[in-house]
Amino acid sequence: MSDSEGAARAPDDIRRHLLLAVDETEGSRRAVMFVADFFGAYQDLAVTVLSIVAEPPEDLFRTAQARQEWLETQRRSRDALCAGYRAILADGGLGDERVRTRVVVRRVVSLGDAILEEQEQLRCCIVVVGRRKITHHEEFLLGSTSNRILHRASACAVLVVE
């Protein structure tokens, strides 16, 4: 596991902490805009923009180099994504001093569980995700991250942005 920027909060940081989990989907963009719009005026709020790159099965790549290149490309892409979302949050009133970004590359069994592990580690009291609007069949075969978070979260509020 690795992170691009930021990790756990400092022990003396008592601000309310919101975890905004994003990827490259339109649902994530809606979630970012919602947070910027709804929470921009809350001065006592810290936001971590989290993007998790799920490592693909190691066997997908013929060589370790091909796999490493893929992961690096993904990381750069997510770094750029988070930077863009940071700008949107800043426009909404959540300035740089209140927003951290964190890109994590790791093996995940469930992306939803991985987000909740981050929530626990970062001690966030709200998790915000966008809904991808997947079909019934997609949910059957691929699973739904937002549903997983809704069902598994136990120590935080969850906002799923439609």
Partner 1 sequence: MAASAAYTEEMVRGLLARSGASQRPPERIRLIADTTDFFGVESDDVLVLDGTPYLIRNYEREGRFGLDDEPKYWVRRAIDLLDGSTRVLKFEFHEEFETRIGGVSIRRFRSPRKEARILDLVRGQRHFMQGRWALDGAGNNVRILEFIRGRRYDQVAVAAGDDHEDFFHRHFPAVLEDFVGLVRAIKFLHDRGEKHGDIRRDHIICDRDSGVNRWIDFDYDYVHGESLFSFDLQGLGNILIFLAGRGDVLLPELRREQPAVHARLTRDDLSIAFNHRVANLQKVFPYVPDSLNRVLLHFSEGAGLFYDAADQLLEDLAAAQADVTAATGRRT
| Residue ranges binding partner 1 (CB under 8 A) | 56-60, 62, 108-112, 135-145, 148
Residues 83/30, Cβ–Cβ less than 8 Å? no
> Whose Cβ is closer to partner 1: residue 56's or residue 95's?
56
> What is the Cα Rg of the chain in Å?
16
Residues with Cβ within 8 Å of residue 77, at least 6 apart in sequence: 24
Provide the 10 A C-beta neighbour count for residue 133.
11
C-alpha triplet 114, 75, 131: angle, nearest 5°: 50
> Whose Cβ is closer to partner 1: residue 42's or residue 61's?
61
> Whose Cβ is closer to partner 1: residue 121's or residue 135's?
135
> Whose Cβ is closer to partner 1: residue 77's or residue 144's?
144
> Whose Cβ is closer to partner 1: residue 112's or residue 130's?
112
Q: How far is CA 23 from the centre of its chain?
A: 7
Q: How far is the CB of 85 from partner 1 (least distance, A)?
A: 21
Q: How far is the CB of 67 from partner 1 (least distance, A)?
A: 12
State the amino acid at position 158 in one-letter form. Answer: V
Tokens of 118: 């981050």
Q: How far is the CB of 38 from partner 1 (least distance, A)?
A: 26
Closest to 145 (Cα-Cα) out of 108, 105, 111: 111
Q: How far is the CB of 66 from partner 1 (least distance, A)?
A: 12
Q: How far is the CB of 122 from partner 1 (least distance, A)?
A: 21
